[in-house]
Structure 1
C-alpha cells in the first residue's frame, strides 16, 4: 500500500460509502475467482478415493494431490504480488484465471500420478496470481472506508469456498466422475475473464524491485521440507531421504531469513514479525487451518471407504460442518464490535477442539446421526475464527504495511493445509500400521506385501486380501482417523492458547500506545 493511499484511507469520512456499479462488479468478479480457487483446495477431498483407485496412487501420491496445490500457492503468493505491482493488477489477474482454467483441464485429462501432481502445482501458482492481483484490484478500486467492507466480503467468500468444496465435489464426482470436479473450472474461469474486462482498480509500478533470491530460497525450502514430511509415512522418519529433506529444507529457510534480513529490497519485511499480535495472529491462523482442513480430507475418505457412502453422500454428510461455518464466518466479524479479538478467536478455537473430541471415539459402524452434532460444533468453531484472526493480523501493523501484511497472512492458510494434511497423514499411517501389525502376523505374507497393504489402507483403498477381512481394514482406517482427531484437537487447543496469549483488543492496544506517548 502506498503512503498516498494509506493517507487517503485514514482521512476518509467515517460514514459508509456508496459503491458504484463498476465497483460492485469488480467485487463480484474478484470474489468469484477467489471462490473458484478456494473450492479447488478442498474439492479433491471427496474425489481422492476415486482418483486413487483410477490411477492406482499411493498415500504419498494422494497427499501430493492436495499439497502440491496449496504448497505452490503459498510459496509464490508474495512474489505474485510483486509481479502484479510491476506489470499491472488486471493483467496478472487475467493471466492467473486463464492459467487456472488450462491447468484444471490438464488435471481432468491426466492419465498418471506424475502429470496430475505437476498440473496441481501449476494450478496453485495460477491461484496465487489471481488471488494477489485480485486483492490488489480491490485495494485500488475501493478507496476509503469502502475498502474494509469490500475486503471483508472477499474474505468471507474465500473462507466459505474452502468448506463448500467437498459438497460440490460430491455432486460432480457422483453425477459425472472425478474429472468433472476440475473440468467445471473451465467455463467458470472463462466467465470470470469475460466479466473482468474494463473493471476499475488497475495499477502498475515499474519501480517495484524484485527479489529473485528470496523467491528461490523460500519456495525451495518449503518444497524440500514438505516433501520430507509427506515421504515419512512410507519411508520412515529415520530414512536418509526424509532426514536429508528436513535438514535441507531448514537450511534453505534459514538462508531465506538471512537473505531477507540483509537484502536491500527483500521479498518479505521481517520487521512485521516483531509485532507480537501479528505473529500471534499468523500462528493462530496456521494452527486452526491445519487442524480444521487437515481432518476434512481423511474424514471424507472415511465416509466413503468405511461407511460406504457415495461421493455425493459424503459431501452431504459434511453439511453439518459446512452450514454452521457459513453462518459463523461472517458472524465472527460482527462479534468484534462487542468482544475483543482474543475473546472471539479463543472461543472459536476452543469450540473447534471440543467438536473434535467425539471423533476420537469413532468406530467403523458409527452412525452419522450420532456424529452430526459434533460436526455442527466443529463448523461453528471453525467459522468463528476466520474473520477475527485476519482482522487481528491487519490491525496489528501500520497502515503503510497493510498490503504486505495481507499477502503474508493469505499465504498462511494454504501452508497450514499443507502441513496439516502432511503431519496428520503421518499420524494416520502410523496408527494404521500399528492396528494391522497383529493381524498381519497371523497370515503368511512377506514384508513387502505387508507394507503395501498398510500403504493401501492408509490411502483409503480397502480391499480384503491375504486373509485379512474387509472389516479388519475398516477398523484399521477408523483407528487411524481417531488418532487424526486427537491430533486435530491438540492443534485447535494450541490455536486457542496462542490467541489468548498474543491477541489483544485493538482499542486496548490503541489506549496503550496513547498512554506510552
Structure 2
C-alpha cells in the first residue's frame, strides 16, 4: 500500500507527457468546433458560401463527431486506444489541410465532416488513455484537468481564431489546425498502448443504430431554429432519432457483446453524470452564441476583442476542475452537481438582466458565474461516468461522455437560437411596415442584417439601429430567462438522481485497496 501511494504521489515523466498530450488533443478537437464562428463572414465573402452552407461548414464537423464517437470508443477498446488517437489525429490533420487546396463551399463542408471523423476517434481515446495510465488515487486530478480543458476548449478556439484573423485570412485557421494535429500525432507515438484484453466482437448493428439516433437528433436540433420546432421535417427527424434510440436499446440488451451496455445507465453515478454533462454543454454553447453576438453587435467588438472578452472564464473553470473531483469524494456527487447546475441557472438569470445599454462588466459577471458552475460539476460528472464502467470499457465510457457533450451543445445552440429569434421577431415586427419593401425581410431576420441596412441608409437610420438592438436584447433576455429556469429544474432532478456521499465513501476503500489492479486490465 505504501509503495503504491508513494508512486502515485508524484507523476512520472510518462504520465506528465500523457496528461499534456491528452489535454492538448481534447483542446484541439473542442476548439475546432468553435474556431470558425468568427471567420464565417470572411469565408462567405471569399468562397461565395450561402448562409445555409455556412451553417453546415460549422455543423458538418459536429454532426459526424457526434454520430461516430460511440463506435470510435468501442474500436479503441478492441484495437487499441493509442492507435485510434494517432489515426484520428492524422485524419483530422489531412482533412484540415484540404481547404488549403480547394475553397469551394461544398468541399469545405466535406472537409469539415471528414475532420469530424478524425475528431471522433480522438475524443474518447484521450480520456480512456488517461484513466488507464494513472493509478486510482491520481486519476481524479488527471480527469479533472482534462475536463477543465475540454470545457474551456470552445473559448480557446474562439480566442485562437480571433488572434489569427487579426493578422491573416481565414485560411490561417486551417493551417493552424493542420499543424497542431500533425504535431500531436507525432507525439502520440510516445504514449503506451491501452486495450481491452478480452477483445470482444464488434457490434455493427449497435453502432449503426447509435449513429442514426444521435445523427437524427442533432440534425433536428440544427434545423429547428430555421424551420421551426413544429416543422414536419424537424418533427420527423426527432421521431426518427427517438425510434433509433429505442432500437439501439433493444439491440444492446440482446447482444452477446454490446457496444454499450445500456444497463450502465441504471448506475446512478453513470446516468446522472451523463445527464449533467448534457445540461452543462447545452448551457455553455448556447451562452457562447448569445454572448459573442452581444459583444459584436451591441458593444461593437471585433472578433479578436470578443474572444479576449470571453477568455477570463477559462481561469475559474480550469482551477475548480482540478479540485472538484476531490470535493465530490468528500461531499458526494449529488451536492457538487446541485451546486454547479444551480450556479449555471443563476448565471442565466443574471444574463437575462442585460439590455442594450449594458457594458462589458455587466456581461462578464454572468460569464464568470457560469464558469464557476462548470468548474464545480464538469469534472465530477466525467469521473462518475468513468467510475461507473469496468476499466476495460473506459473507451466506450469516454465516448458516452463525449456524445453527451455534442448532443448538449447542438441542442443548446438550437434552443437558445430559437428563443432569440422568436424574441427578436416579435419585438421588431411593429417597425417593419414603416420600412421600404426591400429592407423589411433582412431587418426582420436578424440584428446583423438590420445593422447592414442601417449602415447603407446613413445617420438618419439611427432610430432603426436603436430599435433593432432593443429587439435583439429582448430575445437574449427571453432565451436566458427560459433556459435559466429550466436549468434550475434540471439541477434538482439530476441531483436527486445522483448518488450522495455515503455511496461514494463506501466505494472509496475498495478503490484504494487495489488501485493497480483496477488499472491493469486496461493497458497492455
Question: TM-score of the superposition, structure 1-length normalised?
Answer: 0.86
Match of 2:453 among 464, 470, 495: 464
Structure 2 Cα separation of the partners of residues 399 and 139 of structure 1: 8
Q: Is the 8 A contact 1:353 1:488 kept in 2?
A: yes
Structure 2 counterpart of 1:377? 369
Q: How much has 1:288 moved relative to structure 2?
A: 1.8
Partner Cα separation in structure 2 for residue 212 and residue 451 of structure 1: 47
Give the structure 1 partner of residue 475 of structure 2.
480
Match of 2:399 in 1: 407
1:496 equivalent in alignment to 2:491: yes
Q: Which has the larger displacement, 20-29 or 107-116?
A: 107-116
Whether the aligned pair in 2 keeps the contact of 1:103 and 1:122 (CA below 8 Å) is yes
CA contact (8 A) 1:74 1:411 kept: yes
Residues of 2 paired with 1:224 and 1:364: CA distance?
Answer: 37
1:35 to 20, 27, 39: 27
How far apart are residue 126 of structure 1 and its match? 0.8
**Which 10-residue stretch deviates more, 122-131 or 56-65?**
56-65
Residue 5 (structure 1) aligns with: none
Q: Which among 18, 23, 39 is matched to residue 26 of structure 1?
A: 18
Which residue in 1 is equivalent to 2:302?
310
Q: 1:341 touches 1:505 (CA, 8 Å); kept in 2?
A: yes
Q: Deviations over 1:38-65 (max 9, x none)?
A: 2222333433454456556666555544
TM-score under structure 2 normalisation? Answer: 0.85
Mapped to 2, the partners of 1:144 and 1:512 lie a distance apart of 12
Q: How many residues align?
A: 502
**Equivalent position of 2:512 in the other structure:** none
Q: Is the 8 A contact 1:288 1:495 kept in 2?
A: no
Structure 2: distance between partners of 1:252 and 1:423? 22
2:167 match: secondary structure: helix
How do residues 87-102 of structure 1 correspond to structure 2 at under 5 angstroms?
87-102=79-94
Give 2:123's aligned residue.
131
Q: Is the 8 A contact 1:295 1:488 kept in 2?
A: no
1:73-88 equivalence runs, <5 A? 73-88=65-80
Does the CA-based 8 Å contact 2:269-2:385 persist in structure 1? yes
Contact kept, 8 Å, 1:13 with 1:144, in 2: the verdict is no
Q: How has the CA–CA distance of structure 1 residues 151 and 368 changed in structure 2, closer, same or farther, with 3 Å as cutoff?
A: closer
Residue 403 (structure 1) shift: 4.7
Distance 2:350 2:310 in 1: 15
Distance 1:122 1:138 in 2: 26
Distance change (3 Å), C-alpha of 1:401 and 1:36? closer
150, 153, 156: which one aligns with 1:158? 150
Deviation track 1:133-185 (CA, whole Å, cap 9, x = no partner) reads 33343344445545454434333333332332222222122222333233211
What residue in structure 2 maps to residue 4 of structure 1? Answer: none
For residues 271 and 24 of structure 1, do their structure 2 counterparts lie closer, same or farther at Cα, with a shift above 3 Å needed? same
**Deviation digits for residues 311-368 of structure 1 (CA, Å, limit 9, x no counterpart):** 1110121134233223222232342354322222211221222222232132233211
The answer to whether the Cα contact below 8 Å between 2:125 and 2:398 also exists between their aligned partners in 1 is no
1:233 aligns with 2:225: yes
Separation (CA, whole Å) in 1 of partners of 2:502 and 2:15? 30
> Partners of 2:210 and 2:123 in 1: how far apart?
19
Check 1:13–1:110 CA distance in 2 against 1; reply closer, same or farther (3 A cut): same
- CA RMSD across the alignment: 3.2
Q: 1:511 to 1:153 in 2, by over 3 A?
A: closer
Q: Kindly tell me: are residues 262 and 183 of structure 1, through their superposed partners in 2, closer, same or farther at Cα, counting changes over 3 Å?
A: same
Offset at residue 459 of structure 1 (A)? 7.1
Tell me, yes or no, if structure 1 residue 285 matches structure 2 residue 274: no
Instruction: Call closer, same or farther: CA 1:155–1:323 in 2, change over 3 Å.
Output: closer
Q: Deviations over 1:243-264 (max 9, x none)?
A: 3222222222222222222223
Q: Please show how residues 48-59 of structure 1 align to structure 2 within 5 Å.
A: 48-51=40-43
The residue number in structure 2 matching 1:6 is none
- Alpha-carbon distance change, 358 to 417 in structure 1, aligned in 2, over 3 angstroms: same
* C-alpha spacing 1:378/1:225, structure 2 compared with 1 (3 Å): closer
The 10-residue stretch of structure 1 (353-362 or 402-411) with the greater mean CA deviation from structure 2:
402-411
**Counterpart Cα distance in 1 of 2:95 and 2:106:** 14
Q: Distance in 2 between matches of 1:357 and 1:484?
A: 10
Offset of residue 270 of structure 1: 0.8
